[in-house]
A and B are shown apart, each in its own frame.
Chain A
Amino acid sequence: MINLIYMFVFSLVYLLLLALTAGILTYVERRIAGRMQSRIGPNRVGIQGILQFIADLIKGVQKEDIIPADAYAFLFKIAPYLVFMGVFLTLVPIPFGAYTLMEDLDVGIYYVLAMASYVVIGLMIGGWASNNKWSLLGGMRSAAQKISYEIPAALGVFIVVIMSGSMNFQKIVAAQGASPVDWFVFRNPFTFIAFNLFFIASLAEGNRVPFDIPEAESELVSGYNTEYSGMRFLFFFLAEWGNLVVIGALVTCMFFGGGSFWYEWKISIPAPGRDPIVFEVLGFLWFLFKTFFFVFVIIWIRWTLPRLRIDQLMDICWKYMVPIGLISSLGIVIWMYFIPENSTIDRIVRLTLTSLGAITVLYFKYRVYKNLKITKATIYANPFV
């Protein structure tokens, strides 16, 4: 009984936190989008517009909940909840800290992949039950897209699983370390490819630009959620932004060392002088920092790239990502057989890749600086206007 209450309270807290984070993310995204387009973005509700999402929520709740006359009412009603639930459930095994997680599943990654495809059902049902051809097309497209992109995502995950020898998130994080050299992205070329595969495929699975074909505002009138209004419509959006957090957290866990600080992950007996709670909190914050960095990157990509055509989308998946994924999953097996961990070659490769990453970041800085020079703009880094 006490376990049940404990479970209930925890899931409620998680749910509220996710909803709140998703809400704040809508605001953050709009501010970032504004600045990238030389606009300001919402800044009137509350201090700098931080309460904008609450205003939107109130507006959404006030709207009439319209169910089209010919829609299949029951399925139409539950579809948004299915989508939101699918996104929320993916959070279950993600370790925000060594102890801050809902359930330490042994099949963590597998479970996440399964839940990610479960979202498709919600989208399909929503699209079909609306009895509207745009919605149906949107739903079909999203199903086609998610199913295709599940393969590269799974191949990326597969490489990580081989590297760490476990599907448990805790063990995957523990297999990496605190410094960038130990992260899986820079471990060897194949894991780097795996990172790219997984990240791109997650974008596609989360219906984010440049893979937002199921939603395609300009062609499909917003796709599967055309007929939705009010609160149900908001649920789709909550799911979409909640999904950003999930993607960010997954990428952080699998490729960027999770929340591991300069201490070993999951120290059961803390060394003298180390307060486990302080380290837990620090690890948690470090994890959140990385997660939100990736959320920022996803938002940034959205406001940079145009949408792909459907044939380009399928090209990228089947002609590029799947073959590359297959080759690199073969490659990782060979690599692991011939080059043992911490051998000289391994270390050299790690260091090279890490420094390549650092060089990319530096070059990126240089390009940004150049662009600023071309536009002759003065730098105004203050996020508030």
Chain B
Amino acid sequence: MSAHHDTTAIRIRGLRTQFGPQIIHDALDLDVRRGEVIGVVGGSGTGKSVLLRTIIGLNSPTAGSIEVLDRPVTGATRAQMLQLEQRWGVLFQDGALFSSLTVEENIEVPLKEHTAMSHAFRKEVAALKLRMVGLPMNACHKYPSQLSGGMRKRAGLARALALDPDILFLDEPTAGLDPIGAAAFDQLIKRLQQSLGLTVFMVTHDLDSLNAICDRIAVLADHRVSVIGPMDVMLASDHPWVREYFHGPRARAALG
């Protein structure tokens, strides 16, 4: 790889988003490095999901600039977005699988849309992704409504990984899973991230996830990223919300 290769996967500068008079983000800066797992935390309604949606272009910001993989998202044409969209995968909160398609067909959707591969090869790749996220092969022909919540998330992850993206966006991937299922999902993400060299942008509330797999943590408070850094920076921070979050009773239990 070239020497001046940029090591920033996502660069956000001066981001401002608002819905009517309600300001969600103001002068928000954030850099996500290539190959890291970044966890985004913050109180309910601080705009974590909105930030994720804004980065992937589902929501246009009032001001500021966003670059993903050195290409601008803000002001990108439809064609430029299409290129970018093939380089990231998104897992929405409940999987957001297409309910009228089987799991296998769900995974095949991006493959069909963006590649010219043969039907047989497409099925092989879909099966491969299914196995990579740890789903049994008999889940192939099931419809999303026939799966448990955890399986739906895994299937959603397989669809997000279909095009071998560079960046994976996750919105509360472990919310609603039992602790064992959540820990297994954490490990799955970490394993995939390491073996595929992914950059992972993860919105989460799960202290165990933060502790187990995040390289850095970004705290959303007061409309911007207030504190960012690895776990020891969080523990040492004297920001009131951060103190309460990482030193509360649940945190003590999770972080030991």
Do A and B assemble together?
no
On B, residues with C-beta under 8 Å from A are none
